[in-house]
Structure 1
């Protein structure tokens, strides 16, 4: 039986840099590590990165990365995460990041089933980090779900406390208070609200049984999953504190 492959000097130095960056940001202990590969995308879309869990990457071997070299690493911590792309470390805090999600079908992959799930996050410097995964990268959905839940746990209490203080929250062009929710075109008090959903890429609100569009493009709404949790909470208690 052979033991684990020893880390190279470069890997040791990278791990030390990641740990130092995480320590400076005070994001707690490391919980999980993922590795990934990068692929070129249209300039307007920005760089996309595929993230896979390290054991899966090792299990499928080097052949899984022949089309694009492995150049990304993602480490999940208690209060945030780090993403290394081409040697640069991005630190993301769950309590301050903005997460945008969309799905695309790459032009070079038009004949295959399924789309790529794209997650764009902001780091502590306000820079964007773009990560993606598709049907063949089911583990990418594993880390994506973990990140969404961590961001929700970190930001939902603050959002509710802000509303309790009588302030207004904005998610793109959608706003909400303890009394009502709305956009430039429509507004409703919480007792009128039945549900918030996404249909054909648009964010829609069910007001007394009639659906209204709040935002034409869901992918432009930061932390849409936080907004949905807030709407569910506020509509069920009628906006009461």
Structure 2
């Protein structure tokens, strides 16, 4: 007969490991916990085509003041809001394509968090986006004020403008900027310039948008007729 540790005891040990990892990374106070959906209880983890793994009982995402921890398949990834790189991408799942956050942890490793991997993605996805923006934009603005150029994958930003490849647009020219899954779309003289791809994703695209709002005085994005279609 094989003895197995009670599930509640496993949960306690995992919580202790999560708390220890968060403490080492100085993530601050825990704000919320999002667990794998109840429907995965008792289902053994398996690999999926298209990257990443399916959710399993015990997986948990803990949100802190300065970052998150993602316990996936018994391993704990630690992410800090002030240093992470986030990409919004479409990835393959058992139900077809779904949206996901691809984050860089403190060890430089990428972790894929599908919107359905943890419960309530309508809460934790916007929270990650908001917290990363709040942590990184002040530092980015300070760098721009010093005359530095910031690169976000295929897109670059300076205090004077935004561009990609050979295309350079000055901030006074920009009429609108939209952030969509994997792309940054900028409208100048009624024409949309779309940079990036769904496959690779623009890193920290929401930081790009926040910088654009600050440097141009543009209003927050929102369903304008004629804008490129997609999902952020």
Residue deviations 1:12-48, cap 9 Å, x none?
Answer: 2221111111111001011111111566321xx3214
Counterpart residue number, 2:221: none
Kept in 1: contact 2:176–2:186 (CA 8 A): yes
Question: How much does 1:234 deviate?
Answer: 1.1
Residue deviations 1:187-213, cap 9 Å, x none?
Answer: 111100111225796432111222123
- Which ranges in structure 2 are unaligned for 5 or more consecutive residues? 1-5, 219-232
1:96 match: secondary structure: coil
User: Under a length normalisation based on structure 2, what TM-score does the superposition of the two structures give?
Assistant: 0.79
Measured in 1, the distance between the counterparts of 2:11 and 2:197 equals 45
Residue deviations 1:131-183, cap 9 Å, x none?
Answer: 1125x987112111111111111111111111111100010011010011111
Counterpart residue number, 1:9: 9
Alignment of 1:89-168 (within 5 A): 89-104=76-91, 106=93, 108-109=94-95, 115-133=97-115, 139-168=120-149
Counterpart residue number, 1:227: 208
Once the two structures are overlaid, the 10-residue window that deviates more, 161-170 or 30-39, is 30-39
Aligned with 1:186 (options 167, 173, 176): 167
Aligned with 2:47 (options 27, 40, 44): 40
User: Under a length normalisation based on structure 1, what TM-score does the superposition of the two structures give?
Assistant: 0.76
2:120 match: secondary structure: helix
Kept in 2: contact 1:195–1:232 (CA 8 A): no
Q: Does 1:75 pair with 2:62?
A: yes
Alignment of 1:47-86 (within 5 A): 47-48=52-53, 69-86=56-73
Kindly report the root-mean-square deviation, in angstroms, between the aligned alpha carbons of the 2 structures: 2.6
Larger helix share, 1 or 2: 1
Kept in 2: contact 1:185–1:214 (CA 8 A): no
Measured in 2, the distance between the counterparts of 1:199 and 1:131 equals 18
Q: What is the number of residues matched between the two proteins?
A: 206
Kept in 2: contact 1:91–1:124 (CA 8 A): yes
Describe the shift of the 1:146–1:180 C-alpha distance in structure 2 as closer, same or farther (beyond 3 A). same
- Which ranges in structure 1 are unaligned for 5 or more consecutive residues? 1-5, 51-68
1:70 match: secondary structure: coil
Kept in 2: contact 1:27–1:81 (CA 8 A): yes
1:8 match: secondary structure: helix
Describe the shift of the 1:73–1:194 C-alpha distance in structure 2 as closer, same or farther (beyond 3 A). same
Measured in 2, the distance between the counterparts of 1:16 and 1:104 equals 31
Question: How much does 1:74 deviate?
Answer: 0.7
